[in-house]
């Protein structure tokens, strides 16, 4: 089976499903997108790895794994999303130490969070992309999706009882105030709010 390389296009959080996120992967040499529903913690960890200006005061779980691997000279070579069963994606982390390769089973969200930290490529098999890939015009990473795109992702994320999620409005804050709020959010380890504040700063710049 042929492998297809994927890039991370962005993360969308659900307006109706509390704590639900969709990680959007895009095939490198094509237009199909692979949306994967992930949890809030994993979404925050991936967002922090994508956003270089947010520096947690203490290492997150995936940062700790990276530090541990570096200390013992373990390298993550690549991540492969190798199976899709009943809407659940299964992934493998391909590692190497002392020129010996090992394959470790992992949740897809954890595997991608680690791939980002190791700058390792992400792949899936063509048959998985044929089965679960969709054509969706996503925005660039860290940008908001359009209403139509949000509706498509809402349908993918839905399945639990709806819960209204209140989104904080930063429009009245100046850039300086936003930077202060960003620093406070990082210090308080509220990385979800920090990512949203950073998005607002990026829009104005």
User: 3-142, what's its fold?
Assistant: Bifunctional nuclease domain (3.10.690)
Over 50: is that where the pLDDT of 166 sits?
A: no
- Which pLDDT belongs to residue 169? 77
pLDDT at 14: 62
Q: How far is CA 46 from CA 116, 151, 161, in A?
A: 8, 22, 26
- The confidence score (pLDDT) of residue 129 equals 92
pLDDT at 151: 59
At 93-144, the pLDDT tens digits run 999 999 999 999 999 999 999 999 999 999 999 999 999 988 765 444 444 4
Q: Encode pLDDT of 152-162 as tens digits.
A: 566 665 543 33
Residue 90 has pLDDT above 70, yes or no: yes
Least confident of 74-88, 110-124, 189-203: 189-203
Q: Could you tell me which of 106, 54, 60, 62 has the C-alpha nearest to residue 80?
A: 106
User: Domain extents for the chain?
Assistant: 3-142
Instruction: Report pLDDT digits (tens) over 17-71.
Output: 556 788 999 999 888 999 998 888 898 899 888 887 677 888 889 999 999 999 9
Residue 147: is its pLDDT beyond 60? no
CA distance 29 to 104: 27
Distance CA 95, CA 73 (A): 10
Per-residue pLDDT, averaged over 143-155, amounts to 54
51: CB partners within 8 A, 6+ apart? 142, 195, 198
Positive or negative, the CA dihedral 145, 147, 149, 153 is positive
DSSP for residue 194? H
**Which pLDDT does position 159 carry in this prediction?**
45
3-state class of 91 per DSSP? Answer: strand
């Amino acid at each position: 089976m042929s492998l297809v390389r994927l890039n991370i296009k962005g993360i969308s959080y659900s307006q109706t499903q509390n704590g639900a996120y969709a990680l959007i992967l895009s095939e490198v040499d094509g237009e199909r997108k692979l949306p994967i529903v992930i949890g809030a913690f994993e979404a925050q960890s991936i967002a922090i790895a994508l956003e270089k200006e947010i520096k947690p005061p203490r290492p997150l779980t995936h940062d700790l794994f990276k530090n541990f691997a570096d200390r013992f000279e373990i390298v993550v070579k690549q991540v492969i999303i190798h199976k899709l069963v009943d809407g659940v994606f299964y992934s493998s982390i391909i590692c190497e130490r002392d020129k010996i390769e090992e394959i470790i089973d992992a949740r897809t969200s954890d595997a991608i969070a680690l791939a980002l930290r190791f700058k390792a490529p992400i792949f899936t098999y063509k048959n998985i992309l044929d089965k679960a890939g969709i054509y969706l015009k996503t925005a660039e990473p860290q940008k908001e999706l359009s209403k139509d795109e949000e509706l498509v992702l809402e349908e993918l994320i839905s399945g639990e009882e709806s819960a209204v999620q209140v989104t904080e409005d930063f429009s009245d804050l100046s850039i300086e105030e936003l930077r202060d709020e960003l620093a406070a959010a990082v210090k308080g380890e509220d990385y979800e709010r920090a990512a949203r504040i950073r998005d607002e700063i990026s829009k104005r710049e």
